[in-house]
Amino acid sequence: MSELLKLKPEALWKHFYSLTQIPRPSKKEEKAVEFLKKFGEDLGLETIVDHIGNVIIRKPATPGMEDRKGVVLQGHIDMVPQKNSDKAHDFEKDPIEAYVDGEWVTANGTTLGADNGMGVAAAMAVLESKDLQHGPIEALFTIDEETGMTGAEELKPDVLKGDILINMDSEDEGELYVGCAGGVDVNVFMKYTEVDTPKNHKAYKLSITGLKGGHSGMDIPLGRANSNKLTARFLNHCLYHFDIYVAEVDGGSLRNAIPREAFSIITVPAAEASKFEAEVAKFNNIFKAEFSGTEPGLSFFAKETELPAKVAEKEVMKKMIKAVFACPHGVERMSDSMKGLVETSNNLARVIIKNGEFIVNNLTRSSVDSAKEGTMYKIGTIFDLIGAEVKFEGAYPGWKPNMNSAILKTMQEVYNKRFGKIPEIKAIHAGLECGILGSGYPHWDMISFGPTIRFPHSPDEKVHIESVEKFWIFLVETLKNIPKK
């Protein structure tokens, strides 16, 4: 990992390396919060940890820049803890094993944490610098962005003094983001009756592995497979051809990650075992053929296992399988106003059928609040029909683009002058904190940008080395050209 310390700009990469050494999964950021607090205090800068755990560090303007508008440099402390099933890693204790892989930096079998470690590291480099030109700076490091945007939601509206918010959580260098999707969690819960496993049955553990997964917003239009949907599809098929019973289903992990794996334990009559095994093999080929372009590592297989004592009662089992099979996943609608932008989507993130409890977690996103609500209620209706309890939780607003933004104009001019082209203006199908933060600070002029990151929220996450240097140069030049008050 010492390779990272040799990369340019060294001022940024050294801080990113430090962050890889500190466990910081969502809702477990305490060590990183203490690290940032000490960092600010050691620099002799005003450092605040608010009631929820956000860290704010203030740096005065450099000489001659006191008349510039105040800038809030913002990133989130937490990272998504995803790993391959064969990787032994404790995200609450172990450092990330980052390494250079050609033009990229990636991690060994886990998420890298470039989302949003790169933004945090860039702000740290600005705070530490002694030779950069900038007006008044406030660095805002928020907690729990990935699982609930708790830090942004809890930020008090009178703490920050700046006029411009520069969010550094976007993932395509050369693009400026001026809008984002809002979201809501659609959570389902139901208790069900278990019965004794029928006699003369054999049990199988079904496994779907090798999927790419990825960010449930930005990667949702890529057409990747969802392990929960494939499992429900096969089980629904089996309802018409076998006398199956379900003992357990466990698929997906995080609400904002496309599910990569799913495991289930089912029983079939011993007399139908050979036919069932052949059906699994057939569906393995079907799934591989359907997703040959997007999921080359897909694997679906069955392995005989110990017969469970209990299984779900037949009729409720059918309802649970069919509801999950019917639940939408993927793109619901593309945007009419911005070409190529997903307007509305749903991620069927988590499915559990175990020990008499049925749990389903969805993350619904949309840049149009009414469309978000419509999809939310459509999903809720499916599970209402089987008698489950449905809760709509953690809703957060989108961020409406302001094409007359002064910071947008400034950054377009700076990028064009430095790199010879005007950056693309985009909105993102993901939940940037700008929408929430802007509701507490409605006067803010907001923008988001960042280096090129691929496959965030998955163990394939990687950041492009050259783009990091351009991102840094762009940030430095932007701070030098911030408009006057």
Instruction: Tell me the catalytic residues.
Output: 78, 145
Report residue 171 as tokens: 């993932």
CA distance 246 to 239: 11
Residues constituting the chain: 485
Report residue 429 as tokens: 């199908």
Q: Are 24 and 78 in contact (CB under 8 A)?
A: yes
Sign of CA dihedral 442, 443, 444, 446: positive
CA distance 186 to 358: 14
Helix (H, G, I), strand (E, B) or coil at 66: coil
CA distance 231 to 284: 11
Specify burial of residue 157 (Cβ count, 10 A radius: 0-12, 13-18, 19+).
exposed
| H/E stretch holding 325 | helix 314-326
CA distance 421 to 412: 9
The secondary structure of residue 6, as a DSSP letter, is G
Q: Are 16 and 99 in contact (CB under 8 A)?
A: no
Q: Are 74 and 433 in contact (CB under 8 A)?
A: yes
Q: Are 112 and 459 in contact (CB under 8 A)?
A: no
Q: Are 179 and 400 in contact (CB under 8 A)?
A: yes
Alpha helices in 75-169 (DSSP H): 114-128, 150-154
Q: Are 26 and 80 in contact (CB under 8 A)?
A: yes
CA distance 152 to 142: 6
CA triple 136-138-141, angle to 5 deg = 165
Q: Look-up: residue for tokens 């932008």?
A: 341
The identity of residue 46, as a single letter, is: E
Report residue 398 as tokens: 């989108």
CA distance 370 to 468: 37
Q: Look-up: residue for tokens 């006398």?
A: 243
Angle between helices 10-20 and 114-128 (to 10 degrees): 130
CA distance 411 to 408: 5
